Amino acid sequence: MSSPAATSLTITRQQQDQRPVLVLAGGLDATTAPQLASLAVSLIDEGARDIIVDASGLTSCDADGLSVFVQINSRLRARAGRLALAALTPAVHQELAASGHADSFVVAGSVAAALYAIHRDHP
């Protein structure tokens, strides 16, 4: 009997238009969400007002993954900032819509569109 493989998540930090972009690849769940939360909190503590998540490589996202997005967004909103989720895969977009939190975030088809939306709100 084999045990299930552990979920892995790779986060690549980039900078675009003076805003942090976190490129996710892999699964976001209870085992990997703390990794994203820790990095986001560090960015916010360093003064990030907005954070963009490029989710084009996110293969799965469960309730724990969605919860970390909500937590990050809450911290950013406390500083008059926003979390933008860009390039969601259909499965992750469906999970987000089903959670009832889709309207809480900037959701954009690409990082460029997310940057535009955030810049429009926060020049």
Higher-pLDDT residue of 119 and 4 is 119
Residue 69 lies in a domain: yes
Domain of residue 81, residue span: 9-121
Structure tokens at 116: 């535009």
Give the contacts of 17 (CB within 8 A, at least 6 positions apart).
Answer: 115, 119
**pLDDT (tens digit, 9 = 90+) per residue, 28-60?**
999 999 999 999 999 999 999 999 999 999 999
CA–CA distance, 100 with 114 (Å, rounded to integer): 20
Question: Model pTM?
Answer: 0.90
Number of domains in the chain: 1
Residue 104 lies in a domain: yes
Q: Nearest-CA neighbor of 32 among 70, 2, 13, 58? A: 58
Mean pLDDT of the chain: 90
Residue 18 lies in a domain: yes
Q: Nearest-CA neighbor of 46 among 67, 15, 69, 87? A: 15
Question: Mean per-residue pLDDT for 11-16?
Answer: 96
> Residue 78 is which amino acid?
A
Residue 54 lies in a domain: yes
CA–CA distance, 119 with 102 (Å, rounded to integer): 20
Domain CATH code at residue 93: 3.30.750.24
Structure tokens at 15: 């900078």
Residue 57 lies in a domain: yes
Residue 3 lies in a domain: no
- What percentage of the chain carries pLDDT values higher than 70? 93
Residue 1 lies in a domain: no
